[in-house]
């Protein structure tokens, strides 16, 4: 399960804090979320692992469909992101405008 994979990197408390910060529809802010779960203080190596978990089809990119289900990687009971949240999240990480986030873009915008 995804939870197991992420639990080696994030604590239950970190994950809970992140999800708590965006329970209401359209309240998801990726910067707040990354800070709450402590992703902004992880090593490049750990971030690459997280990226790999989110990249469910192993394409080397995180597509819009995968971003929509972003929170579910942290908890099965989490909600899907709204279209507006997904688009804003995608725009933030999509460095070259191809409609998906590559590994480099991902690490860069987590740290921003």
pLDDT tens digit sequence for 52-111: 888 989 999 999 999 999 999 999 899 999 999 999 999 988 888 899 998 776 656 666
Q: Is 100 annotated as a binding residue?
A: yes
Q: Is 55 annotated as a binding residue?
A: yes
Q: Is 3 annotated as a binding residue?
A: no
**pLDDT of the residue at 5:** 73
Q: Is 98 annotated as a binding residue?
A: yes
Q: Is 57 annotated as a binding residue?
A: yes
**pLDDT of the residue at 2:** 53
Q: What CATH number is given for 12-111 in this structure?
A: 1.10.238.10
pLDDT score of 23 more than 90:
yes
**pLDDT of the residue at 89:** 92
Q: Mean of the pLDDT values across residues 30-57?
A: 90
Question: 79: burial class by Cβ within 10 Å (0-12, 13-18, 19+)?
Answer: middle
Q: How sure is the predictor about 38, in pLDDT bands with cuts at 50, 70 and 90?
A: very high
With helix as H, strand as E and coil as C, how does 61-96 read? EEEHHHHHCHHHHCCCCCCCCCHHHHHHHHHHHCCC
Q: Is 66 annotated as a binding residue?
A: yes
Q: Is 96 annotated as a binding residue?
A: yes
Per domain, the residue ranges of the chain are 12-111
**pLDDT of the residue at 3:** 56
Q: Is 12 annotated as a binding residue?
A: no
**pLDDT of the residue at 78:** 95
Q: How sure is the predictor about 112, in pLDDT bands with cuts at 50, 70 and 90?
A: low
Q: CA 82, 103, 111 angle in degrees (round to 5)?
A: 75
């Amino acid at each position: 399960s995804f939870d197991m994979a992420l639990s080696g990197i994030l604590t239950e408390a970190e994950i809970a804090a992140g999800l708590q910060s965006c329970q209401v529809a359209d309240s998801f802010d990726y910067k707040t979320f990354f800070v709450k779960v402590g992703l902004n203080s992880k090593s490049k190596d750990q971030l690459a692992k997280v990226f790999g978990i989110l990249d469910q089809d192993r394409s080397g990119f995180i597509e819009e469909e995968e971003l929509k289900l972003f929170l579910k990687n942290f908890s099965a009971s989490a909600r899907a992101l709204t279209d507006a949240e997904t688009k804003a999240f995608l725009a933030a990480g999509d460095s070259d405008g191809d409609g998906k986030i590559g590994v480099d873009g991902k690490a860069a915008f987590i740290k921003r």
